[in-house]
Amino acid sequence: MDKNQNIEERILWVAERLFLEKGFSGTSTTEIAKAVGCNQALIHYYFRTKEKLFWDVFTPKMDHILDYLDTPLQEAGDFFQKIHNVIDFYFSILELDSRLAPFIVNELIMHPTRWSHFRDRFLRDERRSSAYRKFEKAVEDEIDRGTIREIQAIDLLMDIMSLTVSSFIVAPRGYALNECDSDERTKYLQRRKSDVIGLVLNGIKK
């Protein structure tokens, strides 16, 4: 690995850590440069703007998450079991890092311009969104069978995501942040996951 590639990858790594910890607005390119040990001009040379740096950091992660949406959809079971699997999948993702849920709310859901960019870049892009297209077709097929009510796939996915994320955002203090007894945390998240699955499935059944 040459020196330039090493600096570029270190900028991405430091930017990811700071964006997750402090948010986009709370992180400056000056702060990133200081943590990397380079001058600010290098960040602008490699990434031009902080917004582009943001997407260069998180685009691979979004791709990864969408790619893995295939896995729960391909598991055995009917449509309702597949939705159960998708919710279980999203809970598993958010449990990996306590910073993810606040990040999703602050930087995507509560940021209309960035959410529109996310939707157009990932859900409407044919190359990136094959997993989402499969999810969309599964919803449409189930509507045609008469087992679920009329609903847009994007609305169903947003219901799943928002209910899942809120389980971590409004959790009793410490429960979703690994600051409490691990058994209690596990029980809380299992209970919330069961509630979310029930709410989503009962909400779409015809």
Closest CA to 94 of 19, 192, 23: 192
Question: Can you give the pTM of this predicted structure?
Answer: 0.78
Q: Tokens for 128, please give them.
A: 């990136």
* 126-184 confidence digits (pLDDT tens): 655 677 888 889 999 999 999 999 999 989 988 998 899 889 887 766 665 566 677 88
- The distance between the two most distant Cα atoms of the chain, rounded to a whole number of Å, is 60
68 Cα distance to chain centroid:
11
Q: Tokens for 182, please give them.
A: 């691990």
* For residues 17-32, average pLDDT: 93
pLDDT greater at residue 99 or residue 43:
43
Distances (CA, A) of 186 to 177, 180, 183, 189: 11, 10, 5, 5
* 8-20 confidence digits (pLDDT tens): 999 999 999 999 9
Its CATH class, for the domain covering 1-49, is mainly alpha
pLDDT at res. 93: 87
Mean pLDDT estimate for the chain? 85
- Looking at the predicted structure, is the pLDDT value of residue 49 above 90? yes
- Looking at the predicted structure, is the pLDDT value of residue 3 above 60? no
Contact 46, 36 (CB under 8 A): no
Where are the domains positioned within the chain? 1-49, 68-204
Q: Tokens for 1, please give them.
A: 């690995």
* 58-116 confidence digits (pLDDT tens): 888 777 777 667 778 788 889 999 999 999 988 988 888 878 888 888 887 777 788 77
Its CATH class, for the domain covering 68-204, is mainly alpha
